[in-house]
Structure 1
Amino acid sequence: MQNLIGRLDAINRNVGLVVRWAAILMVLIQFAIVLFRYVFGFSSIAINESVLYLHSTLFMLGAGYTLLVDDHVRVDIFYANASIKRKATIDIFGHLVLLIPSMVVLAYWSWPSVANSWKILEGPISVGGIPASFLLKSLIPAFCGLLIIQSISCLLANILRRRGETL
């Protein structure tokens, strides 16, 4: 089971290593936007939208990595002072009852919109913008898939913790 956990973790670890560069690129483009607008009087809707695309990519594809490194938001009312086994039980509940089902529902209900967007190769959000809204919408099922993969990995790891096995 630990081998499977390692392989599932590797997916989001590799995605995280690639996606983190979106943050740097986003900052550089935003700096260029401000520089071009206020120094040279030049503005471009497509360049402005590129920041939105990078921001969306960073957060949607980085969510699985955030779960992997346990940096997600957590309500610590019951969790903070709990034993390792109790934490594992809470996490198992969260993955089985909350996270995985919500990601399945989100993927299910967003899929028709994403599929239709790809059928027509949906164009820009704004006139003069990036002609690839279909790529932006594709982040939704990718987000769901990466979170489900990481949730399964966390679920398996918590089952091992619950049994008292070390990872």
Structure 2
Amino acid sequence: MLDAIVWVFQNIGLAFYNLGYALTHPQLWLDWSDKTSIMRFVYYGGSVEFFFVVFTTFLVFTAIGLWKNEFMWGCVRVLEGFANTVGRTVAWVGLLMVLQQIIIVFIQRIFARPDIVFGFGIPLQFDISWYAEELKLYNALVVCLCATYTFVQGGHVRVDLVYSAVSFRTKRVIDMFGSLIFMMPVAVLTWMYGWYFMWRHLITPNPSASDTLERLILKARAVRWNVETIGFSPNGFNGYFLFKILLISFTAMVFLHAVAFFYRSYLEWKEGPESENKYLDRDSLGEGEEAYEGTH
């Protein structure tokens, strides 16, 4: 037990050095013309070192926020603003998905064409099935990148067995507990599995979570890009590696919003009911919104 505590504090201390070294030597992990840089990036993205850099940053920001609450409110506003901006932008993909489906129906059923060609200098030609399967990507974009936006807007379904019957401050305690015990750990675990799952579909030889940095650098001599381009059908959509990237993006956004939700819950718990929804930027349906919401 003592060894584990020492290990944790040792890694927290090393996090400052690791972060400083990474920022002052970006060529070691961002210069992808060097194959060893690619392998360093792969290793550190799913490493204990990276985890403790993120964890220590969270601790430092939390400590500053506890000392100066306006700083913590600033973090909440930035993180919630990020979730809203990404969500409101990506939500337009839903319209694109509908328009593309209409075009597919017209081209296939009315004009009886097996493909769609765009001619901008170099003709871009794909089979109808490619565009039909691409709709899955649009759906994944909305699901992954609008999840935290929906959370900020209060759009996720929740089952209130205890929550609705307790006091305001007890609700905030439950929210803080949920952020720390459920949202953050699940996001971290999903990242750890998703990170190497993504890279196994981008490069060869396949990296593994059990590989040490030294072993990955040895593999660097044989590394080459091998981006996944296999579709489920012969002429179908072949960009399925994008789904792996979306998984990583989703977990990163969930983790960041877990931090924002924890901070907001703490501040509302401390400041009382008068601070409920302070600085919260929610979409409005305009006049008559209350009547509309009352029907749902």
Give the TM-score category using the shorter length: over 0.9
Amino acid at match of 2:130: A
Deviations 1:78-109 (A, max 9, x none): 12233221211111111111111111111111
Greater gyration radius = 2
> 2:83: which partner in 1?
12
Matched with 1:149 is 256
Deviations along 1:15-43, one digit per CA (max 9) or x if unpaired, are 01211111100111112222222222334
Describe the SS at the equivalent of 1:163.
helix
Alpha-carbon separation, structure 2, partners of 1:144 and 1:70: 19
* SS of residue in 2 equivalent to 1:37: helix
Tell me whether 1:72 sits opposite 2:156 in the alignment. yes
The structural deviation recorded for 1:130 is 3.0
Equivalence for 1:130:
237
Structure 1 residue 141: Cα displacement: 0.8
Corresponding letter in the other structure for 2:90? V
TM-score by length of 2: 0.54
In structure 2, distance between residues paired with 1:132 and 1:70: 32
Residue pair 1:117, 1:133 contacting (<8 A) in 2 also? no
Q: Percent identity, aligned pairs only? A: 26
| Higher relative helix content | 1
Alignment of 1:41-120 (within 5 A): 41-43=112-114, 44-119=128-203, 120=226
CA RMSD of aligned residues (A): 1.5
Greater length-normalized contact order (CA 8 Å, ≥ 6 residues apart): 1
Unaligned segments of structure 2, at least 5 residues: 1-71, 115-127, 204-225, 279-296
Structure 1 runs of 4+ with >6 Å offset: none
2: CA distance between counterparts of 1:134 and 1:105?
A: 20
Count of residues in Structure 1 that have an aligned counterpart in Structure 2: 167
More moved, 90-99 vs 153-162: 90-99
> 1:119-144 CA distances to partner (integer Å, 9 max, x unpaired)?
22111422223332211211101000
Partners of 1:104 and 1:96 in 2: how far apart?
11
